[in-house]
Structure 1
């Protein structure tokens, strides 16, 4: 009888140790977020991109990994976390925005190959999707329309506002905006706001001919 009690205690101890082990391994696991506790922000068609871009730089300066779970979006701030639901089959995947695109008019997001695999859209190439915001601050972003990127000509970036004011005072129609990057504030001199990048480019070239160095940038990119 005593031996049976010892055996039972041994088995129970083993079960508890095993259970503790499972709990510890699960500590770093992020539970999937469902569409029930996230805010829907956009619905449309998704495409995916892979081998032709693998290893190239994304719009935020990262090296693109087609097997990762990232996405390109026209306007959402870099680092935004989305839940992408494939409306054709109900499957979901969480992605981080680190690139810009797609630029086909009927598409709202371009998934990495790894993300597209998780919602079974590799074969079809596209899918009807709904995007849910998991992490990101749209209210304080510079987005005016999720589907339409806006552009400007940047003519200077300074840590001192007085320097930006000096540059801006020389260029009629320019403006100064306070931009936060990695918790630091920069004072940037911009000219114009455009939805057509070619218009912004023409204005940049005009300013360059006047002796002002500048470049076209997408406003939502900071």
Structure 2
């Protein structure tokens, strides 16, 4: 579990997980983004004294304007280009979570806010800043609402970087990583625990039912690159996949969501190879689905 320092570019202010930081006291660049402080620690750790976070209240999702920094359409880290979603509605993903703590405590996040390892926050590569998400530990069923205000993680196979407090509450602080589900929340669905989430969100996790009008043969396999509550967002993702990877995707309207599907693939090996290719290009790792 390693987290890298801040990158300040002319287009955006990224998070505490990108490259080596500039010297302390860096002045704002031409875009007005704040500079980055130099980290005093080489390695990230938990706090020296364990703090009880069992009684810490979860953030309550509310309408907030987008952060001034960290919300560019796309950005590049280590030679990969990442795309920021136009909105978070309908976003659901499963994968590994990591956490960050003492090394970054008090330093600026991608949004320009100070990182507080004792609050329930997180870093994500593509969700708008800020976004409220429910994170569920798939191994123990524990669930927690966190506020995404940072960019990262940029390590292969991780989809979200949690604050130390969030990792403790979810029970992944000792292992360093854990298998999680991440579900974007709005003020209308914030109080519903995972497993009983609204249909519009649950549908993005479960395999959708077959469309009897155009259902392909049952041996065909697909990848779901995204699921949105509005068609415009789905169209944007389809266009990005076409422009960046030359992939043609289809949009399926099912269970109040517009789903962006890649495929079909005749075998799981072909599907997994494409899944990796999409992830390597900086998109969120698609979810395998079967009509």
Larger strand proportion of the pair: 1
TM-score tier, shorter chain, comes to 0.3 to 0.5
Q: Larger radius of gyration, structure 1 or 2?
A: 1
**TM-score relative to the length of structure 2:** 0.35
